[in-house]
Structure 1
């Protein structure tokens, strides 16, 4: 055998395997896409993922600092968005949840006192205990809520 024939047949085999694999993938992808229940299954899968990601916002992992930080930032963003749209109830709700998971709630409360209108800030302070109880683990969340003397 010559050196060119030693490399020719393995190369032909590799190309043949590659073409066969791509053909196999195309065949089954077409078969999958043409299945009558493909779209329904895909929609159901996406809906399930959407629901599970929505529930993760309500059930945060208090022992995971990254999860808490992400939740805190989401709540601040949602609160700001709601307040800017004039949806004060939801805005206050999100800002209160942010206070409850904040590592330094006193500083955040002082910041809110300086930046929010007094009526909204007072409502935020009034709602903190109720929101702390409505969260799934109130004992660990309410530990970070300071006692305030606003008078």
Structure 2
């Protein structure tokens, strides 16, 4: 066997696999698009994405947040933490503090998160989160649960 035939067959096999994969993708895409409920599903998916991302990025809307759905709360919490970190790393302290306060407002264990923030954030940012938390918790949860949340966090003895 010479050197050119050693590289020829693996190359043919790789090209064959590539063509097969593309054919597989085209076949299933056509099958998906020809399904009778495809247009309805596509419209519903686009509408849901528009509602989620339609707030303009950092001004994510929490008016459609379902506080009784743990998966929505977890997604919203992680989204707010990520956006807060991104804003703080860019130097946008005001928006960063807002996002971190929103994360505390929906957190299942806000005292632990506040203790972590107290250890990792500069004192002035931590104090700003404490100052904004009652207002943000009220806007996220409504007036009844936010006053209990805000007072529970602000009266923690080790956070003052």
Moved more, 133-142 or 74-83: 133-142
Cα distance change of structure 1 residues 90 and 78 upon mapping to structure 2, 3 Å threshold: same
Cα distance change of structure 1 residues 140 and 71 upon mapping to structure 2, 3 Å threshold: same
**Over the residues paired in the alignment, what is the CA RMSD in angstroms?**
3.1
Larger Rg: 1
Query: Is 1:127 the counterpart of 2:126 in the alignment?
Result: no
Structure 2: any 5+ residue segments left out of the alignment? 1-29, 35-44
- Equivalences, count: 113
Which residue does 1:76 correspond to in 2?
A: 81
Query: Is 1:51 the counterpart of 2:50 in the alignment?
Result: yes
Correspondence 1:2-151 to 2 at 5 A: 50-54=49-53, 57-58=61-62, 59-135=64-140, 137-145=142-150, 146-148=153-155, 149=157, 150-151=159-160
Structure 1: any 5+ residue segments left out of the alignment? 1-24, 30-44
**CA distance, structure 1, for counterparts of residue 146 and residue 72 of structure 2:** 14
**Cα shift readout 1:87-134 (whole Å, capped 9, x = no counterpart):** 001000000000000000000000000000011111111111121233
TM-score, structure 2 as length reference: 0.58
